[in-house]
Chain A
Amino acid sequence: MAALKIKKGSTSHSAYNLRPNFSDTQEAHTLAVLVDNEPGVLARVIGLFSGRGYNIESLTVAEVDHTGKLSRITVVTTGTPQVIEQIKAQLGRIVPVHDVHDLTVEGPSVERELALFKVAGTGDKRVEALRLADIFRANAVDSTLESFVFELTGAPEKIDAFAELMRPLGLIEVARTGVAALSRGAE
């Protein structure tokens, strides 16, 4: 034991604690993944993230090409640059994945999210909520004498900002779709 200079009972010598010394700055990236719309394809993508310990901040998926049976998965993820590279390479390995685009690095892109907010209140608070909704160009899609449901579309930051403002005004519930994103320009 002493011969090996390893402390008795030590547990800190596992190879699994070893980590490469890559950069550890965390970055958020928006990935657009074009996949065959077939059973289990979403499970493959999500299973990859959970199985390899990657983060999912936001996930949107729907069929975008009915004839070609293609779905677009938009996923916002965070990680070190090396982890982001790994995520893209691992996604590319999945058989029904056609294309992986990193919209964050492939030039400018637009990101939009749709959210519904249920705000309950009466009197001044109710009036203030309606005024702010107007400023944010949110639509009231349901209303009762004590509540509104607002619909708002915008960049995730705008949704966050609106939610922050609504909170003291009686925000009860929020539903968000997650980010949909496209690159800008003709291509």
Chain B
Amino acid sequence: MTRQMTGAKMVVQALKDQGVDTVFGYPGGAVLPIYDEIFQQNDIRHILVRHEQGAVHAAEGYARSTGKVGVALVTSGPGATNAVTGLTDALLDSIPIVVLTGQVPTFMIGSDAFQEADTVGITRPCTKHNWLAKETETLSETLHQAFHVARSGRPGPVLIDIPKDVQFASGTYTAPEKSDTSIYEPQTKGDITAINELVEAMEKAERPVFYTGGGVINSGPKASQLLRELVDATGIPITSTLMGLGAYPASGENWLGMLGMHGLYEANMAMHDCDLMINIGARFDDRITGLISAFSPDSIKAHIDIDPSSINKVIKADIPIVGDVESVLTDILKVWKARGRTVNREAIANWQGQISDWRKVECLKYTQEGKVIKPQYALERLEALTKDHDRYITTEVGQHQMWAAQYLGFEDPNRWMTSGGLGTMGYGVPASVGVQVAHPDSLVINVAGEASWLMNMQEMGTAVQFRLPVKQFILNNERLGMVRQWQELLHGERYSHSWSEALPDFVKLAEAFGAKGIICSDPDDLDEAIMEMLNYDGPVIFDCLVEKHENCFPMIPSGKPHNEMLLGEASTQGAIEAGGAVLV
């Protein structure tokens, strides 16, 4: 059936046909026709954000927590440029989102018209692909292709720039199934010879480790299930990047905790000493590898990734497998079972023994004493009081983010939304809004630092307007904590502009927004205050005043290998005085 309709109507029709139920957006001159169509229907819910960056992060939070494609709609010029940070964030973390931008009419493009920007030019390097829709006739097909590109292969952000005259003009609507998606067909099935080689290596390995990443989560819930089956059947210990938390449960017996710059001692040591490293959907990011020349020197490295450009980019893979995690794990399990479910049980038992020795270091130990709340304590209590809830966590970026990754346990995928690759301060508040929209009855907590939180705090208005009971859990140290920590360690304790002065009264701020404010500074009151936050049916800003100079450990200083991590001030300093600078 061919249907004639305006470009603006096509946008709404295409969104419906793609199964979109929510759009995060902000209107403006160049998208008014689309907003007019949105006004005249009830299938798609529009969430009015307070800033276009917020729209994109909210769409990211929605996408990451549901596995669906997130959608943002913004106007031309400043609307589009404000979306750039979110697009880049989604690109680095492989989050599938479609961003629709308005553009000045085609006949005015290039004339420096009001609110004109070269959106496609500006966003070319920060999208997986983008389009300037020049004709209404092809607009609907472009929209369907955009969803296809965003969700296929390695997911990512795409953008369609739609001039206003294209929105007004009429054309033929093409249904999704009639649209040509052959423009992009990434390989999803792994090479079976390489998979066999990997299974053989797994059978022989004495000190194997799984190193998993966001790719497992992007591949879908089935991939996490298969991963759990493989890990538990083989007894091979598993660590994960920041982006991959939840793919394997934190309570699982083979779980080592997060690895990397602020990863756990046992995880990093296992990575350094292993003889077989099985990378599943991670990309050897510099926060993970530390000093590359000393990275896991004695291991065979297998790398499973859907993106061929990830393989051999940083670390040479001995067994490269290009494919989708779910498909490759299915094949690995099939081959491994068919070959008799062999692993080197004795060697792996020894290896697990070695790992338990490393665990005894208790790298996350800290001391909560006196009348000041340690940030680690705050998160431990938050974990204890919320772990049985149907819970989603978002974060901002900095020390609190690392502590959240260390002290909160994730049992399932899609429960942890954080800006990993780009490290975007200001991500958490809008992301929590997006997650809560997708999961209205769940507990959504944004673990934040006060400095990051302020960057997109305007989205509290969105939370209040749409009755989204997001809990903003701010670890307030009146510092840019991670910057301060690096200045202490690397810049001679010269704390250049790394403290927050003239902070708002967060309780009053909450009340000004129409939300609830809670302040807590005494460790003895913390549990009760957290319960008050949880029991309040509405958005809460929780101002948790914490120790101001706490550093985040363990830490692999940049330029050091995994086995030279720093384990907290007290132990490090003690060890130095005793002559051994760094614990191994």
Kindly list chain B residues whose C-beta atoms are within 8 Å of the C-beta of A86. Answer: 309, 312-313
A-B contact count (CB 8 A): 90
| Chain B 273-309 interface 0/1 with A at a Cβ cutoff of 8 Å (1 = within) | 0000000000000110111110000000000000111
Q: A15-B559, A93-B307 are in contact. Are A6 and B125 (CB under 8 A)?
A: no
Q: B327 an interface residue at 8 Å Cβ cutoff?
A: no
Kindly list chain B residues whose C-beta atoms are within 8 Å of the C-beta of A22. Answer: 316
Task: Please tell me if the beta carbons of A43 and B292 are within 8 angstroms of each other in the complex.
Answer: no
| Chain A 38-70 interface 0/1 with B at a Cβ cutoff of 8 Å (1 = within) | 011001100100010000000000000000000
Q: B129 an interface residue at 8 Å Cβ cutoff?
A: yes
Kindly list chain A residues whose C-beta atoms are within 8 Å of the C-beta of B314. Answer: 20
Q: A15-B286, A20-B292, A43-B124 are in contact. Are A2 and B493 (CB under 8 A)?
A: no
Q: A144 an interface residue at 8 Å Cβ cutoff?
A: no
How long is the Cα–Cα vector from A39 to B161 in the complex, in angstroms? Answer: 13
Task: Please tell me if the beta carbons of A96 and B132 are within 8 angstroms of each other in the complex.
Answer: no
Q: B538 an interface residue at 8 Å Cβ cutoff?
A: no
| Chain A 1-42 interface 0/1 with B at a Cβ cutoff of 8 Å (1 = within) | 111111011111111111111100000000000001001100
Please name the residue on chain B nearest to A21 by beta carbon: B293
Task: Please tell me if the beta carbons of B492 and A9 are within 8 angstroms of each other in the complex.
Answer: yes
Kindly list chain A residues whose C-beta atoms are within 8 Å of the C-beta of B569. Answer: 3
Which residues 2-59 in B have Cβ within 8 Å of A in the complex? none
Kindly list chain B residues whose C-beta atoms are within 8 Å of the C-beta of A21. Answer: 292-293
Task: Please tell me if the beta carbons of A19 and B490 are within 8 angstroms of each other in the complex.
Answer: no
How long is the Cα–Cα vector from A76 to B430 in the complex, in angstroms? Answer: 45
Closest approach, in angstroms, between the C-beta of A33 and any C-beta of chain B?
Answer: 15
Most chain-B CB neighbours within 10 Å: which of A20, A21, A90? A20
Kindly list chain A residues whose C-beta atoms are within 8 Å of the C-beta of B491. Answer: 9
Number of interface residues of B (CB under 8 A): 42
Task: Please tell me if the beta carbons of A95 and B149 are within 8 angstroms of each other in the complex.
Answer: yes
Closest approach, in angstroms, between the C-beta of B326 and any C-beta of chain A?
Answer: 21
Task: Please tell me if the beta carbons of A3 and B573 are within 8 angstroms of each other in the complex.
Answer: yes
How long is the Cα–Cα vector from A56 to B181 in the complex, in angstroms? Answer: 32
Kindly list chain B residues whose C-beta atoms are within 8 Å of the C-beta of A8. Answer: 492-493
Task: Please tell me if the beta carbons of B286 and A1 are within 8 angstroms of each other in the complex.
Answer: no
Instruction: Select A51's contact among B125, B492, B559, beta carbons within 8 Å.
Output: B125
Task: Please tell me if the beta carbons of A4 and B128 are within 8 angstroms of each other in the complex.
Answer: no
Task: Please tell me if the beta carbons of B311 and A89 are within 8 angstroms of each other in the complex.
Answer: yes
Taking Cβ atoms with an 8 Å cutoff, the residues of B that contact A are 120-121, 124-125, 128-129, 132, 149, 183-184, 286-287, 289-293, 307-309, 311-316, 488-493, 557-559, 566, 569, 572-573, 576, 581-582
Taking Cβ atoms with an 8 Å cutoff, the residues of A that contact B are 1-6, 8-22, 36, 39-40, 43-44, 47, 51, 82, 85-86, 89-90, 92-96
6 CB contacts below 8 A, A to B, read A3-B573, A18-B292, A20-B316, A40-B132, A47-B125, A95-B183
Instruction: Please list the 5 inter-chain residue pairs (A to B) with the smallest Cβ-Cβ separation, ordered nearest first.
Output: A89-B309, A15-B558, A8-B492, A95-B129, A20-B292
